[in-house]
Chain A
Amino acid sequence: MYDVIVIGAGVSGAAAARELSKYDLHTLVLEAAEDVCTGTSKANSGIVHAGYDAAPGSLMAKLNVEGNAMMDELCEDLEIPFQRNGSLVVCIDEEGRGKLAELLSRGEKNGVKGLRIVEREELAAMEPNISEEAVAALYAPSAGIICPFLLNIAMAENACENGTEFHLDSPVTNIEKTGNGYAVMVTKADGTEEIFETKVVVNAAGVYADTFHNMFAKKKITIVPRRGDYILMDKEAGGLVKHTVFPLPGPMGKGILVAPTVHGNLFAGPTSVDIGSKEDHATTKDGLDTVMRECGKYVKNVPLKMAITSFSGNRAHWEGHEFLIGELAEAPGFIDCAAIESPGLTSSPAIGKMVCGIVLDILHPGKKKNWKKKRKGILDPRTLSFEERNRLIKEHPEYGRVVCRCEGVTEGEILDAIRRPLGATTMDGLKRRVRAGAGRCQAGFCTPGQMEILARELGISREEVTKRGKGTWLVKGNLKDEI
């Protein structure tokens, strides 16, 4: 019997699992997909929001500001990149000033530090490519950028190193109340069923969290997938803006932003459209057209011709627009961690802490003695000096073999990504961990090389290597065998 089962290895589930791993708890994370970080957590803006957007007094506001403040230490512990590049909410007409003032006051009420209004002249000095129309902006120095994959993956990895079990490819299909907890059923792709007993369930199932909530709660909820389309541009365009540039927020969200990524690309998006299917991950012509049109209103010279990929993500939107975190009164031991939409990524460390606090109140476990706070990051040889890099190659020749030319990823990094806890097993898994195939040629060059390494390391044939798990095969039919 488990103490805790966390449903979902997205950023909220991973954050909760990591916090729980500090305690003497027998925890299992069940993830429907082939890897951690495959839903909303993988397709979002990667922004660490300052916290001026959410309504004062809301849980969203509280966890946003707390999560933001936790980010420096967390990223240092997890050895992942994080930059406080600051954000600018830009208004392009005098009427917008009222809204800016409102955001400023809301931010101050939420406890956001350093907020101020910058006027045109200063704004243009901060961002030479700001629109000619821009009149003023709300500057939030505490806003930052982060790699959403690495944050999620690193927290999961760290939880795993600290004894948390993870079952991937394990979609939860039913939960039943038992005498002293819950029986959680997983149905595998081949139809086999497994039942796991647990005292506590944490429902961090992203866009599917309503399904599990509604099994037990009197007050039913509906999570609406709210799609956002994005366009990612070449690293050559990365320097166009330094800050994250937002328009004034609207009823559907924070609007289409233009920002550098923590890896040095430039990106624009997201749109905001409620859609019918949670399984719909398609970008649309309308969506991409909207991104292209809107991103130019606040920043000039956005080099859309340098687009290298586009993608869409589904926010887990609930009409109440508030995080739903707490134990259900009508189902003791069932803890919701639902409706985590923006600023969910920013809030995740605080969400994890809050969820863990609720579990502690139920189970009262002791602290684990040898909890490992630090997770060793995947070594990036580009950060080494010439001499250090040479020593590394001498000891580990695989660091001298470049597999992905655009991002300069070596075989050494790829092996590190595969051979660690919760390591990569797919092409997308490698992309998210070490950026192999994430560059300007979008894996045109390195696909064969990556396939070869994955096959060798996983002990499978190249025909069994996938893009991201079941059904996403890459090649079929070995021509040499048929000769």
Chain B
Amino acid sequence: MRSENTIVIIGGGPAGLAAAISAKKNGAENILILERDRELGGILNQCIHNGFGLHTFKEELTGPEYAGRFIEEVKALGIPYKLNTMVLDISPDKTVTAMNSEDGLFEIKAGAVILCMGCRERPRGALSIPGTRPSGIYSAGTAQRLMNREGFMPGKIVVILGSGDIGLIMARRLTLEGAEVKAVAELMPYSGGLKRNIVQCLDDYGIPLLLSHTVTDIRGKDRVESVVISEVGPDGSPVPGTGKEYECDTLLLSVGLLPENELSKAAGVKLGSTGGPVVNESLETGIPGVFACGNVLHVHDLVDYVSEEAANAGRHAAKYVEGLSRGEAAKTAGQRTVDVVPENGVRYTVPVTVRPDRMDEELTIRFRVANVYKNIFVSVYLGEERVQHRKRPVVAPGEMEQVTIKRQDLLDRPDVKKITIRLEEE
């Protein structure tokens, strides 16, 4: 099915849409988006709040509006896509096996694959919260879908565990629809969400954020009847005797997002510390011609950065298939590769390696920090030489950071094998 230089894009959410548009604009002729949902747009379709697109369009859009602009462009460019289509397997030789009701089970031998599967939410079981197993325990995203796409209230009296952005957004959304949100409990001494969401979704509605607290018991035989929230000590475990019972009919969990890489693993793609694929400057995984972008690569805070990253992946994929059509196998052997190393409070970087010969004039390296740090310097070293040293009033795990490096700087330093990004006190 289809020609050998097709770029198959797995997922029609924000990453897949932007990657497809960019691949097309960069000359790729055969592109196919495979989307498992009944429409394009991915998770944006249920994100009916505003705040999307400030960077990309310089205006505030809702999730569906933001997605809509990309969907229109995909359609205008005539990029083919298949809905209600589940990709079941990607083999190491880039054969994509997928299924839907109309085409049945089918295989595509792809020229390039762009992984855009996004992420999923961590379930209750991953936290081993003791207690009963009643109805009324939802991940925040499931509750968001039930409300915003299906049109149903998941409950009326709600406690939220975890202060990830979806949980915060849902605190406001539920309140606006008449539910009572009693509290948001957060295990860490800081929130995992964006500052603006804490202000706009909790503070504005008087919803308490209980930092260093967690749910230690779930009660109720049939439906959730109450949860117990306890303080946690510095070691992260609950302090005995601090439990307080909150009557509620619903517990929402916003306790982390996991890049969804089952297909990547099936293809043999190596994963790194983000939970997503290890990629180079071209967002290419360890398998030549397999690219990754968006939340499948690392969980983003802002969709604008997903679109930007995905556009790069699409461009590189287009370049890759163009090379294929000229009979150029990927020439990687012997090419200079520089490692990007996170250190001292920097948890990970994307990308993980850089080939100066292949990189653009400037390259954005994105990363997250491991804790909240105040008045700290973000430093970049090329080898042992510090080339950037920027003071920041505060950095936090909930907000993605970035630095930019210049290709020329690496070309000028042919002996440099390592770029280090670290936090420094002075």
Contact = CB atoms under 8 A, between A and B. Distances in A.
Interface of A: 231-232, 279, 281-285, 287-288, 292, 305, 307-311, 386, 389-390, 393-394, 397-398, 400-402, 405, 408, 440-445, 447-448, 451-452, 462-463, 466-480
B105 A470 contact: no
Q: Which of B126, B138, B147, B155 neighbours the largest number of chain A CB atoms within 10 Å of its CB?
A: B126
B91 interface: no
Contact of B222 (A287, A443, A470): A470
A288 B141 contact: no
Contacts of A469: 222
Interface string B100-124: 1111110000000000000011011
Contacts, number: 141
Given A393-B104, A400-B102, A479-B153, A405 B36 contact: yes
Interface stretch (B127-135, B324-332, B369-377, B382-390): B127-135
Interface string B394-420: 000000000000000000000000000
A469 B222 CA distance: 8
Given A281-B132, A288-B130, A400-B100, 15 more contacts: A232-B125, A281-B221, A282-B218, A283-B131, A285-B130, A309-B124, A310-B130, A389-B105, A397-B101, A401-B101, A408-B88, A462-B150, A472-B222, A473-B135, A476-B155
The 8 closest A-B pairs by CB, nearest first: A471-B222, A309-B125, A475-B152, A400-B101, A397-B101, A467-B135, A442-B123, A477-B153
Contact of B84 (A310, A401, A442): A401
B125 A288 contact: no
Contact of A476 (B101, B124, B153, B221): B153
Contact of A279 (B101, B124, B125, B221): B221
A441 B223 contact: no
B95 interface: no
30 contacts: A279-B221, A281-B132, A281-B221, A282-B217, A288-B128, A386-B105, A389-B105, A390-B105, A394-B104, A400-B100, A400-B102, A401-B84, A402-B36, A402-B86, A405-B36, A441-B121, A441-B139, A447-B142, A447-B146, A462-B150, A466-B135, A471-B222, A471-B223, A472-B222, A472-B223, A474-B135, A475-B146, A475-B155, A476-B152, A479-B151
Nearest to B178: A477
A473 B223 contact: yes
B216 interface: yes
Counting contact residues on chain B (CB < 8 A from A), the size range is 35 or more
A305 B88 CA distance: 25
B145 interface: yes
A288 B133 CA distance: 14
Nearest to B134: A472
B154 interface: yes
A287 B131 CA distance: 11
A448 B99 CA distance: 20
Contacts of A466: 135
B156 interface: yes
A282 B128 contact: no
Contacts of B103: 400
Given A287-B130, A470-B222, A472-B134, A307 B151 contact: no
Given A389-B105, A393-B105, A476-B153, A308 B146 contact: no
A197 B73 CA distance: 71
Contacts of B2: none
A276 B223 CA distance: 21
Contact of B130 (A283, A389, A444, A472): A283
B336 interface: no
A398 B101 contact: yes
Contact of A400 (B99, B120, B153, B216): B99
B149 interface: yes
B425 interface: no
B150 A448 contact: yes
Contact of A393 (B84, B101, B120, B218): B101
A463 B221 CA distance: 19
A37 B103 CA distance: 38
Interface in B187-238: 216-219, 221-223
B130 A480 contact: no
A282 B227 CA distance: 13
B123 A480 contact: no
B361 interface: no
Contacts of A310: 125, 128, 130
B99 A402 contact: yes
A479 B177 contact: yes
A444 B141 contact: yes
A442 B124 contact: yes
Contacts of B99: 393, 400, 402
A455 to B, nearest CB: 11
Given A462-B150, A470-B222, A444 B120 contact: yes
A416 to B, nearest CB: 16
A342 to B, nearest CB: 22
Contacts of B84: 401
Given A393-B105, A448-B142, A478 B134 contact: no
Contacts of B100: 400-401
A308 B150 contact: no
A308 B130 contact: no
A378 to B, nearest CB: 18
B135 A472 contact: yes
Contact of A445 (B120, B149, B156): B120
Contact of A231 (B104, B128, B146): B128
Given A281-B133, A307-B126, A480-B151, A448 B101 contact: no
A468 B136 CA distance: 12
A471 B135 CA distance: 9
A295 to B, nearest CB: 13
Contacts of A386: 105
A473 B138 CA distance: 12
Given A279-B221, A441-B120, A467-B135, A475 B125 contact: no
A440 B139 CA distance: 13
Nearest to A291: B128
A308 B152 contact: no
A10 B252 CA distance: 32
Contacts of A305: 126
Given A444-B139, A479-B152, A479-B153, A311 B86 contact: no
A476 B138 CA distance: 14
Contacts of A476: 152-156
Contacts of A442: 123-125
A292 B125 CA distance: 13
B121 A400 contact: no
B167 to A, nearest CB: 13
Interface in B260-279: none
A283 to B, nearest CB: 5
A448 B128 contact: no
B104 A389 contact: yes
B125 A308 contact: yes
B68 to A, nearest CB: 20
A440 B125 CA distance: 9
Contacts of B145: 448
A462 B222 CA distance: 17
A458 B104 CA distance: 27
Contacts of B222: 469-472
B223 A311 contact: no
A467 B250 CA distance: 14
A405 B98 CA distance: 12
B125 A307 contact: yes
B327 to A, nearest CB: 31
Contacts of B217: 282, 285
B413 to A, nearest CB: 40
Contacts of B151: 478-480
